């Protein structure tokens, strides 16, 4: 971890760029894990927000806008996306979080994680009275992937769930264009009954799948699992892929497993870091390069201490003048940004070619 040759993103000295708004009923406790998209010449952040941590903990998505990618102003006093209970059987009535955004042609597509009821309400005993099925996203309140489209970042249309209700699924990320005539999605499925019985849920890894219509997804297959000590707990997608001359540049998060009988909230072995890999341009199921070292890790007080300690969690990126702006959550509490030249990062990861298989 201390090798001076390792690549590191440059963290903005003015971090955090979006912080909780004291007294707000929907963003008073958390403003974290933002999607990012350039629209009408401005950078728009769509950030996860919560008004409380210890009570209901219902999750929303807020919006902020910037001229330069560093200095953001909130847009309006209300959430940009709120949980909805009257569509799609209420699969996202309990919370919407961790959005990712891509522009495909003239439409912005926003993927997100959804819960049927608020997280802490479920833990304290509340249950759905008449779930539409006995799927675990209803009976265990597991996260499920959702999809929203918008052309103007004002009016949004829900397209419904994009993952099934029989398992836990998160880190739902679209590629910014079709490949071979099909849409492509990264996600992290886990929580299947067989996995739970085998005690393997914590080792969840990234998968990739394809669709003709953005709603029904097929040809699902594993992409990567844990390969290095700093990601031995689990891996999952971070920001949407960026197209380069070398391939699809993809960030992911790795979680270092915490030792048994330790406090997850304060134990420093439990840590979210950010990795980088390159996928083949024409066949994104092929990992052609993967860096063994993280490019971002918790260092500052607002990354080390918060709702969940020791977390950097990138979920949005934009490219401005050949510079990548990575937007990330710090300690599940605030939004931050780090930058790096696109060419330099792409060339760096290509120094670590992978074996020609679908998984490392």
Residue 215's CATH number? 2.115.10.20
> Can you name the residues that pair with 148 across neighbouring β-strands?
110, 158
pLDDT at 193: 56
Picking from 108, 92, 95, 135, the residue whose alpha carbon sits closest to that of residue 214 is 108
In this structure, is residue 354 part of a structural domain?
A: no
- Domain assignment present for 358: no
Is residue 187 assigned to a domain? yes
Residue 4 lies in a domain: no
Residue 130 belongs to domain spanning: 10-349
Residue 250 is assigned to a structural domain of this protein: yes
- Confirm if 193 and 216 have CB atoms less than 8 A apart: no
Task: Return the pLDDT at 262.
Answer: 58
Average pLDDT over residues 243-253: 98
Q: What is the tally of structural domains in the chain?
A: 1
Lowest mean pLDDT among 31-45, 74-88, 154-168, 288-302: 74-88
Over range 196-221, report the average pLDDT. Answer: 82
Please report the pLDDT score of residue 4 as a whole number.
41
pLDDT at 357 over 60: no
The string of pLDDT tens digits covering residues 16-64 is: 999 999 999 999 999 999 999 999 999 999 999 999 988 889 999 999 9
Question: Which residues, 6+ apart, have CB-to-CB distance to 122 below 8 Å?
Answer: 94, 115, 141
- The 10s digit of each residue's pLDDT in 284-301 is 999 999 999 999 999 999
Would you state the pLDDT for residue 358?
44
The answer to whether the pTM exceeds 0.85 is: yes
Confirm whether 1 is domain-assigned. Answer: no
- Report if residue 3 sits inside a domain: no
- What's the pLDDT tens digit per position in 219-230? 999 999 999 999
Predicted pLDDT of residue 328: 98
Helix, strand, coil percentages for the chain (3-state, nearest 5): 10, 40, 50
Which candidate, 150, 40, 167, places its Cα nearest to that of 99? 150
109 located within any domain: yes
């Amino acid at each position: 971890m201390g090798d001076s040759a390792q690549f590191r993103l440059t963290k903005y000295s003015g971090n955090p760029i979006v912080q909780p708004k004291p007294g707000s009923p929907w963003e008073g406790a958390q403003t974290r894990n933002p999607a990012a998209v350039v629209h009408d010449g401005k950078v728009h952040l769509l950030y996860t927000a919560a008004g409380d941590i210890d009570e209901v903990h219902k999750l929303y998505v807020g919006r902020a806008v910037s001229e330069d990618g560093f200095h953001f102003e909130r847009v309006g006093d209300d959430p940009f996306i709120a949980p909805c209970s009257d569509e799609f059987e209420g699969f996202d009535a309990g919370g919407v979080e961790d959005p990712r955004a891509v522009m495909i042609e003239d439409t912005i597509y926003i993927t997100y994680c959804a819960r049927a009821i608020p997280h802490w309400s479920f833990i304290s005993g509340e249950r759905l009275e008449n779930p539409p099925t006995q799927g675990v996203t209803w009976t265990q309140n597991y996260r499920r992937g959702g999809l929203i489209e918008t052309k103007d970042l004002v009016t949004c249309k829900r397209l419904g769930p994009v993952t099934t209700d029989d398992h836990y699924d998160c880190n739902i990320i679209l590629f910014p264009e079709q490949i071979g005539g099909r849409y492509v999605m990264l996600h992290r499925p886990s929580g299947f009954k067989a996995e739970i019985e085998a005690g393997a849920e914590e080792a969840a890894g990234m998968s990739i799948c394809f669709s003709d219509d953005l709603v029904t997804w097929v040809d699902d297959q594993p992409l990567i699992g844990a390969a290095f000590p700093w990601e031995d707990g689990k891996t999952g997608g971070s920001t949407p892929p960026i197209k380069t001359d070398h391939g699809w540049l993809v960030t992911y998060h790795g979680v270092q497993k915490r030792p048994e009988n330790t406090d997850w909230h304060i134990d420093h072995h439990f840590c979210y870091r950010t990795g980088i890999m390159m996928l083949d341009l024409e066949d994104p199921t092929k990992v052609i390069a993967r860096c063994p070292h993280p490019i971002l890790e918790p260092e500052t007080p607002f990354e080390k201490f918060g709702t969940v300690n020791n977390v950097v969690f990138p979920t949005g990126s934009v490219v401005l003048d050949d510079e990548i702006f990575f937007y990330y959550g710090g300690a599940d509490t605030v939004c931050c940004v780090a930058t790096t030249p696109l060419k330099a990062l792409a060339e760096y990861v290509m120094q670590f070619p992978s074996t020609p298989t679908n998984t490392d």
